[in-house]
Each structure stands twice: as structure tokens, then as C-alpha cells.
Amino acid sequence: MPVTDKDRDIFARTLWGESRGESLAGQVAVAWTIRNRVNDGKAKSWWGEGYGGVCQIPYQFSCWNKNDPNFAYLSGAKQISFREFAQAQIAADQVMAGMVPDPTGGATHYYYYYYYYYYYYYYYYYYYYYYYYYYYYYYYYYYYYYYYYYYYYYYATNMPKLPDWVKGAKETLKLGRHIFFKDVP
């Protein structure tokens, strides 16, 4: 199936919506998951046909869902940053042309995660006696507090729970803020 300019545009917009803020390598990895779906080897695939069909099939790439905040940008109602979109187009062009190898090892799925950081601290104090002379002896207590900060983090997704398809799938790559999978049951 030949790639049209519309396919290229939809592909680049999908990369922007799904992986803006990632490095070029991160966007290339996301692009390869789309290409792996396009080239799944089936005559009629449930993923959709061609880059445009795979990207816009309902509920596969959340950036195309009408209730997603990215949809206004992807549909053209709002302007996408030129620099960000140019990077997404470069990634799309390189992957469609086969100019870069597949870093995901054949992944067809991924999900986005981010870090939650917990900051907490504890303190201890000690005191000492300070001797001060002025008619009488006075003792003053000075307390010194020492704070120790600890950082804990864990992975989280923007989903209330991990997708069901993660169970039994083979993780192939963690890159940027995406985790990639193949052999999804």
C-alpha cells in the first residue's frame, strides 16, 4: 500500500500526540510500534490499513480520542509548535523509509509512565546548656534541628490501572517515558 501525504501527516501528528517531549530516539521507538502494526503481514488487519488507518482506529492511540486534550491540536483547531512537529515529521519519515533500525524489537504496544516522587524528611535535635552571667546564673536551652531529606519514587501511568494486555506480554524496551511490549496475548 503506497504511503500518501495524508498518511505521513497523520503519522507525524500521532507521534507528536503520543510522544512529544521525548527525544528523537523515543519518538522513533513509538513510530516503530506503529510501523509494526502497519506491517503485521496480514491481508486485512484489525489494526487498520496503512499508517492513517492504524493511527486513527478508535481507542488505539489515545491522542485521537475526541475527549483527549491533544485532539484539538491533531485536528487542526489549535496550532502545534513548529519545532516539536518538525521532530515528529523527521521520526515519521525515517521510520517509513526504513532509515533507522527498530529499537523496540518488534513491539506493537507501549504505555506511557511517569515518576511520582515522594519527599519526606525526619529530624532530630539536640540541645546544650549555654551559660550566661548577669547578676544570676541563667541556663538557656538551644535546640538545633537537623533535617534529612529522602526521595522515593515509583512508576505510575496516566491510567487508573495497568492495561490488561500487559499480563503475558514480553517487555522489549524502556526508553524515555515509554515501556514497549510484543507478543501481546
pLDDT (tens digit per residue) in 75-120: 999 999 999 999 999 999 999 999 999 999 999 999 887 654 444 4
CA neighbours within 13 Å on the CB side: how many for 110?
Answer: 31
Which range among 19-33, 62-76, 129-143 shows the weakest confidence by mean pLDDT?
129-143
CA distance 182 to 71: 27
Could you tell me the three cell numbers for 121? 524528611
CA 115 – CA 177 distance, rounded (Å) = 9
Cβ atoms of 121 and 77 closer than 8 Å: no
What pTM does this model have?
A: 0.74
CA distance 109 to 91: 18
- In the chain, the percentage of residues whose pLDDT exceeds 70 is 74
Element housing 163 (H / E): none
- Residue 1's pLDDT band (boundaries 50, 70, 90)? low
Say if residue 134's pLDDT is above 80: no
Amino acid in position 80: I
Q: What is the mean pLDDT of the chain?
A: 79
Within a 10 A sphere around the Cβ of 103, how many other Cβ atoms? 15
Confidence of residue 123 (pLDDT cuts 50, 70, 90): very low
Q: What is residue 158's predicted lDDT score, i.e. its pLDDT?
A: 57
Residue 14: pLDDT over 90: yes
Instruction: Look up residue 12 and give its amino acid.
Output: A
Task: Tell me the C-alpha distance between 11 and 7, whole Å.
Answer: 6
State residue 159's pLDDT score. Answer: 57
- List Cβ neighbours of 179 (8 Å cut-off, separation of 6 or more): 110, 111, 113, 171, 173
Euclidean distance between CA atoms 155 and 114, whole angstroms:
6
